[in-house]
Structure 1
Amino acid sequence: MALTEHNNISIAQIIIYVPSLFIAVWLSYKHGFGRSAGWFYLIIFSLARILGASFQLATISDPKNLNLQVGAAILQTIGLSPLIMLQLGLLGRALGSIRKSTTSFVTEKRLRLVQVIALVGLILGIVGGSSSFSDTGVYTVADTSRAGTGLTIAAYVLLVLATVAVALQLSHIEPGEKRLVLAVGLSLPFILVRLAYSGESVFGNNPDFSPLTANMNIYLGMAVIMEMIVIVIVEAIGMTLHKLPANKNVPVATGYQQPWQQSEVDRDHEMGGYR
């Protein structure tokens, strides 16, 4: 049986995202799962793409299996939220660098709020995707899918605003950490194209953007390649970042310095001249 264009795209996704998953795990291990939550979302995204492509390829031998079709469609449509949460994680690390010397309008609490919005959009997208398929395999967009996409759009807009606010304080970011803002800034246009694809598939009623009848050329250009570019940008810059010492994100605008920030003269002074 000859492979379809969709099958070929799925194979390419597995080839790309398997090494991407290993890099994501390595980055999470290097920078810390807790302190660098963005890398955790990179793992989730890579897994979603590998599983979604695997389900799609499994339909070759069982084309009438509706569960495989639904699983593949849902996994292929929920990638935006993890990408946005990944960018928010990177901004959070850059914000930690800013707050060592000054205050910022963007705060960790506000970034977490945007992450919650994106997460709720992800959950609604999964629920909506599950209810969009009838027992006969007919696809109709559910209201929960529209709500999830709407929240994802809102999260993206807030991500752009947060990126601009952080970029305006670029001079306060340590030289080695400025590339975080660069990674997010470079990723945003490609995420926007991917968001436009999702918006059209949910709100446009265009069969060329439907999970079952999608035009593969449009899907490849506006979704698959856009996501791959973002992952390459983030992982390439992530591998150049240094590991932060423990508690290095503690702000020091008040004048207090952590031991790792003090010079040997400062430590001698605090210890009364004795080591």
Structure 2
Amino acid sequence: MGLSAPEILSIIELIFFAPAILVSVYVVYKHGHQRQYGWRFLVLICLFRLIAGITQLVSVHHPSSGLTICYDIMNSFGISAIVYAALGLLNRVDHGISQSIIPRRAFALLGLPGLAGVVLCIVGSINVFGGGSNPSEGIAELKAGFVLFSSVYLADVLIAAICFFNIAQVQSGDRRLLLAVAAALPFMTVRVVFSLLCVFAQEPKYFSTWTSGWVAVLVHGLLGILMEAIIVSIFIAAGLTTAPIRNPTTQQKETTLYGPEPVSTKV
């Protein structure tokens, strides 16, 4: 008996993201653990995809609503981690400019849509796949969650454009990060559009992360998982080839994506 389409896609996920998470951990170790610069999100993207792949493999032979919910949530988390990885890299680019173009508080405030989107997607997935009496309410929550993620994506595009207009002021070492975000944006666009089609198009035969038909699985693989793999590869390459920040006094003044980092008093 041959492998099913979901099994094949899950195996491909594991083959790519298992080594990718190890390299991502090294990138985080190289650049430090500052949340505001987005490196941690590389590890999270890989982790979410690994959990999704394992969950999908198990659910093929032992289907349950819990596994379906977990798989759907991991897909939602993946798009969230991608847009915030890009935002973190742009935060570092902007921070390296002598007089920052984007207000520090703006990066912190942009963490709020993502947090709300994550909560909505979790609740929405539970309502859709948990056997509740009102799955349409869950679909509405998923739509709202993906719209919030899309708003952060649009902020990524806007901030990247602003940085490019001021590229002469960007530190030479950080220009590689700006170029990495620019290179990733087209693939991010495809990933975001695919997510929106999954909840708005109402065409599960073509646009779905949970339908097991060959067409839907192929589309999910090409427009969803492949896009994430390419984005992760671009950001990992940028992390490996870019020097870490060496100015701790400047880092202490930084605002993270989810609020201010505590300022250490150690010398």
Q: TM-score, normalised by structure 1?
A: 0.83
Residue number in structure 2 paired with 1:19:
19
Pick the aligned partner of 2:181 from 179, 184, 206: 184
The 1-side partners of 2:135 and 2:27 are apart by 38
Alignment of 1:66-105 (within 5 A): 66-99=65-98, 103-105=99-101
Shift in CA distance, 145/183, structure 1 to aligned 2, threshold 3 Å: same
Matched to 2:121, the amino acid is G
Match for residue 163 of structure 1? 160
**In the alignment, residue 18 of structure 1 is paired with which amino acid?**
A
Q: Name 2:243's counterpart in structure 1.
A: 242
How far off is 1:4 after superposition? 1.0
Aligned counterpart in structure 2 of residue 106 of structure 1, from 102, 108, 124: 102
Q: What is the Cα deviation at residue 185 of structure 1?
A: 0.4
Q: Which runs of 5+ in 1 are unaligned?
A: 252-275
Distance (Å, rounded) in 2 between the aligned partners of 1:142 and 1:135: 13
1:217 aligns with 2:213: no
- Comparing 26-35 with 12-21, which one deviates more in the overlay? 26-35
Structure 1 counterpart SS, 2:146: helix
Q: Using a 3 Å threshold, how does the CA distance of structure 1 residues 215 and 139 change in structure 2: closer, same or farther?
A: farther
The equivalent of 2:231 in structure 1 is 230
1:210 counterpart letter in structure 2: S
Higher relative contact order structure (alpha carbons within 8 Å, sequence separation ≥ 6): 2
What is residue 203 of structure 2 aligned with on the other side? 206
* CA distance in 1: counterparts of 2:210 and 2:18, whole angstroms: 25
Structure 1 position 51 matched with structure 2 position 47: no
**Alignment correspondent of 2:113:** 117
Contact 2:66 2:130 in 1 (8 A): no
Q: Which amino acid aligns with 2:179?
A: L
Give the count of matched residue pairs. Answer: 247
Superimposed CA distance per residue, residues 234-259 of structure 1 (whole angstroms, 9 cap, x where no aligned partner): 001110011221426469xxxxxxxx
CA distance in 2 between partners of 1:10 and 1:177 (Å): 35
- Cα distance in 2 for partners of 1:197, 1:12 equals 19
Deviations 1:152-175, CA, capped at 9 Å, x for gaps:
111111111111111111111221
The 1:174/1:248 distance shift into structure 2, 3 A limit, reads: farther
* Offset, 1:35: 5.9
Gaps of 5+ in 2: 253-267
- Structure-2 residue corresponding to 1:266: none
* Sequence identity (%): 28
CA separation in 2, counterparts of 1:135 and 1:87? 36
Tell me if structure 2 keeps the 8 A contact 1:180–1:237.
yes
- Gap change, CA 1:248 and 1:234, over 3 Å in 2: farther
CA RMSD in angstroms, aligned pairs only: 2.2
Q: Which amino acid aligns with 2:56?
A: Q
CA contact (8 A) 1:98 1:104 kept: yes
Q: Deviations over 1:49-97 (max 9, x none)?
A: 000100000123313x221222122212331111011001101111121
Counterpart pick for 1:126 among 122, 125, 130 = 122
8 Å CA contact retained: 1:176, 1:242: yes
Select the structure of larger CA radius of gyration: 1
TM-aligned CA deviation for residue 118 of structure 1: 2.1
Q: Secondary structure at the match of 1:243?
A: coil
Whose helix proportion is higher, 1 or 2? 2
Q: What's the TM-score, normalizing by structure 2? A: 0.85
Mapping of residues 21-40 of structure 1, within 5 Å: 21-34=21-34, 37-40=37-40
C-alpha displacement at 1:109, in angstroms? 1.6
Q: Are 2:76 and 2:118, in contact at CA under 8 Å, matched by a contact in 1? A: no
